[in-house]
Structure 1
Amino acid sequence: MSKLFGSIEAGGTKFVCAVGNEELMILESATFPTEKPEETLQQAVDFFKQFGSSVVAIAVGSFGPIDIDRGSETYGFVTTTPKPHWANFDMIGFLKDQLDLPMFFTTDVNSSAFGEQLLDPSLKSLVYFTIGTGIGAGAIQDGEFIGGISHAEMGHMFVKRHPEDLAFAGVCPYHGDCLEGVAAGPSLEARTGVRGENIRLDSHVWDIQAYYIAQAAVTTTLTLRPEKIIFGGGVMAQEHMMQRVRKQFAELLNDYVSVPELSAYLQVPSIANNASATVGNFALAKREYDRNN
């Protein structure tokens, strides 16, 4: 019997569950909204149960913050998320109660970063940002995630305020005007009263947002010096945003250090709809299975 590997991309807005084969190809997937923990995770459990014993391991890439320390009493928990009902919830415990399988637990952006490196084996280092409902980032160096006592939380780095945006307090419930507070999708509606998808492309608010995202890229460049920085998420799915970010990045970095051509250095994901997270999860699930057998 061929082995199948499971992926759960647990986003703040939606869950994407998938199964793949040993070649890491997606065979079947399901998407549903992120509601209360028990009902959302039960849908994930039901999805995987239909494949019986063929699924041999699952990797979960989750919105954060989460506890990824296997020696911790709260390993597998979503911790201090502002998302209603999910704070301090034992996600892996719930899944393990119904699916007695090896599971790997990390952030959704780590899963995406892992998938992107698989898709381009020439890369030894990269950083993957998701700019959407929230902002997160995962970093890979020589095939391993960068982190110490826990995973990175680069989406909450502090940024210099745009001179025309000083009156905006930001939307992060913890920090106000950190990167997520001023550049995540909800910040657009908070400033303008208009949902991001309905804002005119010539609106100056896009340049303000790009200014903050470019700062994150500059800070990442100077701190980690990766070979590539990838920007996924709904905000960056608009082609004009990547162009704006590259322009602002060049102005902010001001040729201080050398970087590759910006069209290659600051990139969008290799696969549409953030499917790199699914590919990454398949590989992480396979690695977890191999470690347990």
Structure 2
Amino acid sequence: MYGAIEAGGTKFVCAVSNEALEVVERVSIPTETPEVTMQAVYNFFDQYELVSMGVGSFGPIDVNEASATYGYITSTPKLKWQHVNVLGMLKEHYDIPISWTTDVNAAAYGELTFGAAKGKQSCVYLTIGTGVGGGAVVNGQLLQGFGHPEMGHIHIKRLENDAFEGVCPFHNDCVEGLVAGPALEKRTGKKGIEVKANDEVWQIQAHYIAQALMNYTLILSPEIIILGGGVMHQKQLFPLIRQEFQKIVAEYVAYPDLDLYIVPTKLGDDSGIMGCLQLAKEVAGK
């Protein structure tokens, strides 16, 4: 059996699969204190004989294997989880190989292996919801080194008439500060699902998201960009983002057909857990 953990700020999704990566069982565990949540994680996995495990965690996390704090969640806003050695706790409980990366890197890998980017060697996955996070696969490998990408916090050029202060406590006018769910709610006074599809706020959202995608395109030149998260359930955003992207790139670089380049997830909420299972299989040497 392979084990997988998609460790989120709200919940830990845990799953086990057979060798064909078919999910046998999965559970959702609330993200409470590390002690409470990890004990529930053990209670689930202890029922199975695991060969290996893949973990994709909310962050920031330490992914540098040469670091003394490799495997830790580091400077997260979730205070009880700051500087918690999640990987160490798992290794102490399970004597098996464990792959460790970010939740969005795991989702990118899931989409590359089984989803919208299947058959490709590179992709960017961006989730836009309560926060904004991004993962990338380059030449078939997860993009991480000294640290990992924090794609949601690149700075964005504001529209001239946009006085909105942003919601990120670190950088007001980063992608997360301007387009995450809380920013949308603060701009409109409504939840995203309550905002009409023709509201002008979607054009603002699309412009800022397109700026971010242009930057990722110029730096990484991925074969495909996949957008997920609660905000992207607003399907009217996709054509608006493609239009804005085409406008601001201004034919400077080539990119694939936009309908095939900027796309929704194919795996939906399973992107992360499937990426973790694939990483578990690989770390087991299968």
TM-score normalised by the chain length of structure 2? 0.93
CA offsets 1:95-135 (integer angstroms, 9 cap, x no match): 23333332111001111111111124421111111111111
> Does the 8 A contact of 1:12 with 1:133 survive in 2?
no
Is contact 1:82–1:173 with CA below 8 Å preserved after alignment? no
After superposition, the C-alpha distances for 1:198-230 in whole angstroms (9 at most, x for unaligned) are 222222222211211111111111111111011
Question: Which among 192, 198, 202 is matched to residue 206 of structure 1?
Answer: 202
The one-letter code of the counterpart of 1:8 is: I
* Whole-angstrom distance in 2 between the partners of 1:94 and 1:194: 40
Q: How many percent of aligned residue pairs carry the same amino acid?
A: 47
1:277 matched residue in structure 2 = 272
**Equivalent position SS for 1:231:** strand
Q: Is the 8 A contact 1:124 1:143 kept in 2?
A: yes
2:153 to 134, 156, 164: 156
Partner of 2:66: 71
* 2:90 counterpart of 1:95: yes
TM-score with structure 1 setting the length: 0.91
CA-CA distance at 1:143 after TM superposition: 1.3
- Provide the residue aligned with 2:234 in structure 1: 238
- Where 2:79 maps in the other structure, the secondary structure is coil
Whether the 8 Å contact between 2:29 and 2:41 is mirrored in structure 1 is no
Alpha carbons 2:179, 2:208 under 8 Å: kept: yes
Is 1:41–2:38 an aligned residue pair?
yes
Question: Any unmatched runs of 5+ in structure 1?
Answer: none
Between 66-75 and 36-45, report the one with greater CA deviation.
36-45
Question: By how many angstroms is 1:18 displaced?
Answer: 0.9
Partner of 1:130, secondary structure, is strand
Q: Please, which runs of 5 or more residues in structure 2 have no aligned partner? A: none
Does 2:248 match 1:252?
yes
Q: Secondary structure at 1:28's aligned position in 2?
A: strand
Could you list the structure 1 runs, at least 4 aligned residues long, displaced by more than 4 angstroms after superposition: none
**Shift in Å at residue 276 of structure 1?**
2.0
1:2-45: CA deviation from partner (whole Å, max 9, x where unpaired): xx111111122222111112112222111233222222222222
- 2:262 equivalent to 1:262: no
Q: Matched residue pairs, number?
A: 284
Cα separation, 1, equivalents of 2:150 and 2:81: 18
Backbone CA RMSD of aligned residues: 1.6
- Which residue does 2:282 correspond to in 1? 287
- Tell me whether 1:61 sits opposite 2:50 in the alignment: no
CA distance in 2, matches of 1:267, 1:20: 28
Write out per-residue CA displacement over residues 58-106 of structure 1, whole angstroms, 9 at most, x where no aligned residue.
1110111100112211111111111232221211122233333321110
